[in-house]
Amino acid sequence: MPAPPRRSSQGVPVTTDILRRLPGVRLVVTTSAGLNHIDLAECRRRGVAVASAGEVYSDEVADLAIGLLIDVLRKVSAGDRYVRRGSWSSEGEFALGSKLGGKRVGVVGLGRIGLQVAKRLEAFGCTVSYNSRKKKPYVSYPFYSDVRKLATNCDALVICCGLNEQTHHMINREVLLALGKEGVIVNIGRGSIIDEKEMVQLLVQGELGGAGLDVFENEPNVPEELLALDNVVLSPHTAVFTTESLSDLCDLVVGNLEAFFSDKPLLSPVLDE
């Protein structure tokens, strides 16, 4: 299967200016998991319907989130490099890692993806708590309205929320310090949710235990300091992409278009994001 074409992590922006220039637009269908590239308020004002990727990516992203967390804790990628460069035979036994089971993990953003992450963490025997815009009445996980307090009571944070004005740099120096020297952060949301410069500094200084990152502030540029750190696992913003998810996405896009032009309800409408 050929490699997919180069993708923009933010998608094609649908701004007020774009909508003004295209007054006939009545539907926007996005294939991304995030919605920060769409002016939803302007779409609502103009009566433009919006369809999202819905549940298509939830399993894939949740799987990678857990994979990144296990990789950082068990030093999988670091161990792979250790073997490949011949260090096992020349330097001896590899450094100890840490198990996932029993860890206190905070999920930031308990939406579709966040819920799938939480379910997987439960299966590994983790204690799950969360931060979200508001408390979810249908879950029993402890809720923290303050993300810093969540970090204080966790061994790891998994960032699953969307990017907006409220979440930009929400994971700041104070939150990262609250997570602590043994704490691990995993980000499969958007790079700018974390203050990347502060995170890099704390990782280099040993004030943060490790990071598993699928997203970055200035993609595809990754801070050079991260490349040399064995406690950091890097992924090129591919959490949503598998052969299965792309096939399902094509079906969903076609289904939304057919529904719209048949005056039927959209399959994955964005009602109030």
Select which of 42, 207, 217, 219 is catalytic. Answer: 219
Select which of 60, 120, 190, 196 is catalytic. Answer: 190
Instruction: Supply the DSSP symbol for 259.
Output: H
Select which of 60, 112, 120, 237 is catalytic. Answer: 237
DSSP 148-203: HHHHHT-SEEEE-PPPSTTTTT-B-HHHHHHH-TT-EEEE-S-GGGB-HHHHHHHH
Q: Could you confirm whether 237 is annotated as catalytic?
A: yes
CB 36 within 8 A of CB 164: yes
In which residue are the tokens 């994971």 written? 171
The long-range contacts involving 259-268, CB below 8 angstroms and separated by at least 24 positions, are: 260/26, 260/27, 260/49, 260/51, 266/49, 266/51, 267/51, 267/54, 268/51, 268/52, 268/53, 268/54, 268/55, 268/56
DSSP bridge partners of 269 = 51
Single-letter amino acid, residue 104: R
Does residue 13 have a cis bond before it (omega within 30 degrees)?
no
In which residue are the tokens 């609250």 written? 178
DSSP 28-90: EE--SS--TTB-HHHHHHHT-EEE--TTTTHHHHHHHHHHHHHHHHHTHHHHHHHHHTTHHHH
For 103, 131, 144, 146, the CA distances from 134, given in Å and listed in that order, are 24, 8, 9, 11
Give the whole-angstrom CA distance, residue 253 versus residue 53: 8
Report, as residue numbers or ranges, the catalytic residues: 190, 219, 237
